[in-house]
Amino acid sequence: MSRGFNSRCKLLSKFSKRWEESDRTGITGVIKPAAPLRSKIELAIRRIEAQVQYLESSLNRFADRDKYLFSKVVDAYSKNQIQRANVFANELAELRKMANFMMNAQLALERVVLRLRTVTQLGNAVVSLAPAAQVLQSVRSGIAGILPNAEKELESVGIMLNDIMIEAGQTAGMAPDFEVASEDARKILSEASMVAEQRMKEKFPELPTLKQPETYTQDTGFSQY
């Protein structure tokens, strides 16, 4: 019992030291000491927060474009220009699809930041970092092709989190439970998705129901399709 307790205390002491101090072990550590774990995680948080702001500004631009297209749909529909209204409505639908991806990404990243801010102890370092890294990977895949700069930055931060997780695990003598991490990541993404759905309804008004243009046939006269 005493031996186990002493071993645990040594791990805590080792982690606490690595949490606050640079790693100066080995030749590389002497020449270029690795930053403390706390500093690395704080840097990751700042980089993710920068992407949250970038997504927010992008969403605002999308909202402005949405208002313009929405007004065009309503105007064309009020003039019974159904084909023209459908053209604008299709463009609007594609824009909203991308906006939905971006809003999901923004909310998921906000939750990752909250998760990373809890990383202050031996136990929750590995436990918190694993799902956070998985969420970043999922978010990066979701915005692929929409925001290439954000995608590239999130890939870089994801690699950074994986490196921190490995170092924290080695220092603490623990390995992440990836099954639990995957479940936690799914919960984070699910929560973000539910909130995003509500915010999309608030931010982007519902389109009027558009009729199909009428065409003339010899057999039936005017018909819709």
Where does the pLDDT of residue 119 fall: very low under 50, low under 70, confident under 90, or very high at 90 and above?
confident
Q: Which domains does the chain have, with CATH numbers?
A: 40-210 (1.20.1260)
Q: What per-residue confidence (pLDDT) applies to 37?
A: 81
DSSP characters over 78-102: HTT-HHHHHHHHHHHHHHHHHHHHH
Q: Which of 8-12, 64-68, 111-115 has the least mean pLDDT?
A: 8-12
Tell me, rounded to whole angstroms, the distance of Cα 146 from its chain centroid. Answer: 13
Q: What is the mean pLDDT of residues 134-153?
A: 92
Q: Give the residue, 166 or 110, on which the prediction is more confident.
A: 110
Q: Is the predicted pLDDT of residue 225 greater than 70, yes or no?
A: no
Confidence (pLDDT) at 46? 95
Give 163-207 as a DSSP string: HHHHHHHHHHT----HHHHHHHHHHHHHHHHHHHHHHHHHHSPPP
By mean pLDDT, which of 7-11, 53-57, 69-73, 87-91 is the weakest? 7-11
Mean pLDDT of the chain: 80
Question: For 22-44, how does the pLDDT look when each residue is reduced to its tens digit (9 = 90+)?
Answer: 555 544 444 445 678 888 889 99
Q: Looking at the predicted structure, is the pLDDT value of residue 50 above 70?
A: yes
Exposed (0-12), middle (13-18) or buried (19+): which is 140, by Cβ within 10 Å? buried
| pLDDT one-digit tens code per residue, 73-95 | 999 989 999 999 999 999 999 99
Mean pLDDT within 105-133: 84
Task: Judge whether 62 and 99 are in contact, CB under 8 Å.
Answer: yes
Query: 223 in helix, strand or coil?
Result: strand
